[in-house]
Structure 1
Amino acid sequence: MSPRPSVLDDPVHRYRAVVVFLVLEIAVLGAVLLLRGFPGMDLEVYLGGARALAADGDPYLGKVLTSQGVHLPFTYTPFAAAVFLLGTLTPLKLTLIAMNVASIIGLGIVVYLVQVADGRRRRTAAAVALVAQLGAALIEPVLATLNYGQGNVFLMLAVVADVLVPWRRWPRGVLVGLAAAVKLTPLVFCLFFLLRKDFRSLARTLGTFAGAGAVMWLVAPEASAKYWLHLMSDTTRMGDLWFVSNQSLRGLLARAGMGLTTSTTLVWAALAVCALVLATGAITAALRAGRLPLALVSCAQLGLLVSPVSWTHHWVWCAPAVVLLAWSARTRWTTDPFAARVLAAVSALATILFLTGLPWLKPFPAGSVFSWLGAESYVLFGTLLLATVWWASARESAAKGLRDEPPGGGERLVAESAG
């Protein structure tokens, strides 16, 4: 029996569906951008660094005075300053609107790609992505990204597109390398390629990263030397580590009263190794279970945990994580109800956590256990997510009889995940 034709097989219906989607997309963008103003303080700093690079060849000479009266230093790489030169061609307000519109659209693309790569039908994935754009704009990490004029969604989109889109001739790893050249933390995805035994993509990532840095060393040698030899290791330039907005393992230790000492560094290193072991288990188990997007999200969680500074707006990876956990729960509801309930519960917990922005609320008395849980909630969720992915993926592999199958590498797994 031949399958029943889809309504969208008709060109007229397909055209109408596209028009409806675009109208809804415009409505979502309008709702997000018009109902709230975004000052874009961080974007002012990035553009100030770009102008300093163009004028003096060094974005690190001084601090940028923002419209809110705050002096802030440019903390990204020289390559990042060059990237932001494009934004200096238009007025700040227009640049901020363009960035935020692109961020919301980019977030929808990310949510769409992770669903399709995990086996969801494209039409359903598109509908969920549209809803997620509006919903995600209400969660604290994305809202903070829009508020500050941050580029976190673009970095996430570059990684997701590089890994999950089944490019046939695209040199996989290049976009990850470019993202790392802008901001160092995407280098954590080298572990993802390593565990997949995708050594070509790993080499392209490192080569692109090094190439971008080398080009900037030729263009701005003094600024490059200053950044790579001195400023890169100075985490205090990014703000006090103990700020509640620094949701990383290092921030957790700083809020516990552990300062910039050798003993603190050793404790931080030990916690980072534990996070690495947990993430390696989660990524490997997800790859064995054929859950490529979950493996990618798990790798992102590792980067957020071990980075010295992970501001709450860096946690935009929570959006695809919530969607993937919910989708994984739905696909197992009949085959493994217990795992499905656990995944659904973690997804619901994440939704509540990131909608409320719990670290900022301080609803509990200072010094209490609940106060500590709230202040460290993003860090604790990242740890919980890795443990959940490891457990659920290993359980799924065992049910499929795939426990002894090694993680897939190269292009095969991408093609399978996108099919």
Structure 2
Amino acid sequence: MSAEAFLGDFHHVATIGATPNNGVDRQAATEDDRRTRDWFRAFAAERGWETRVDGIGNLFALLTWRAGAKYVLIGSHLDSQPLGGRFDGAYGVIAALHAAERIATRVAAGSAPPEFNLAVVNWFNEEGGRFPPSIMGSSVYAGIKNHDEMLHVRDLSGTTVAEALQAIGYLGRDEPPSPAGYAEIHIEQGRILEREGSTIGAVDSSWYTQKLDIEVLGEQSHTGATAMADRRDALVAAARIVLMVQDVTNDFEPEVLVSSVGQLTLEPNSPIVVPRRVHLVADLRANSPEVVKAARATLLTQIEDVARQHNMTINVQDFDIRENQYYPGAGVELTEKVAADLGMEARRMQTMAGHDSVAMNRIVPSVMVFIPSVGGVSHCEREFSRDEDMTAGVDVLTGITWELLTGALQEKNHT
């Protein structure tokens, strides 16, 4: 498969769910998500590859050379954030499909069948924009999240994961492939590679992540007739919490901790009613768990003060905690070697964002690779990576995948 063929497929898939400003909106288990899944299936069918869909909607394309052997998995996700970018996730899936075809061609041309089989995967609901938590499909596959609990997660309209997957025809019952290893290529979503002029990032670890599920309970009343002294406005209290989540980063050196409130809903959401309930999710991330835990402790104390001052109940629950993950050193070295053989230099780095590889690294040796993001922006329509960086990444992923198929990491310690 040529670079031109890959780029043609990539830019075609970007038309599915396209937004006016060159982004995509393909949230999990929507009609546009179905269309990309159908495209994935057609790609596999044209090449005679078996496809499977498991009970959480993960979609696999299988290349089987040895009956009974395990599978090296490669891939990412095709779902997006609302008004998201066309590169996040989709690049990794399409790159994996083309890497798989190159390897299939190599075997068909006479190379000995590798030790393991190969599966390309499109993980369900990595983004978590419609159905929290994120990294859902790979976490269920890895045994980190409970399958039945995730099927009952609801979006803001009340639709469950099971109902949404059933509606688009992707609530499967197939047995997923048994993994021997995993590799994923992704856009960086930061600006380190671009700033340093590097094409490839060899990811060695991930940041610690902690979310807080916060429910603010006030009292509904008339915005015009209720005296200010008699109001228990849940949105006013929530607004203070939003600023606290922002300001807690000032307790640490710059960029040591990042935080935000990315989702907020209020009830009854009427222009003439003082809000009675606000629900928000706070996201705290740092390389150091101690930093995140210190920020969490500060916020809990401050939130107690807000509840007392506003005479209301505020419920806080820990949500979606992800420990630091350390990718196998042998996999990082493999990325460096493959890149060097192709005339590129790989820069070792961390991932601040979560990826499906974070879940997979819990159960099998996993390799995570980055390519540059122009301007370091992501989860927005102006997210961008250059064609030449994407095609270089496909070359690197192909080389890494072949090495994994031949057992490159099987005798190394998985740390």
Bigger Rg, which one: 2
> Which one has a larger percent strand, Structure 1 or Structure 2?
2
* TM-score after normalising by structure 1: 0.27
Report 1 or 2 for greater relative contact order, CA contacts < 8 Å, sequence distance ≥ 6.
2
Instruction: Indicate the structure with greater helix content.
Output: 1
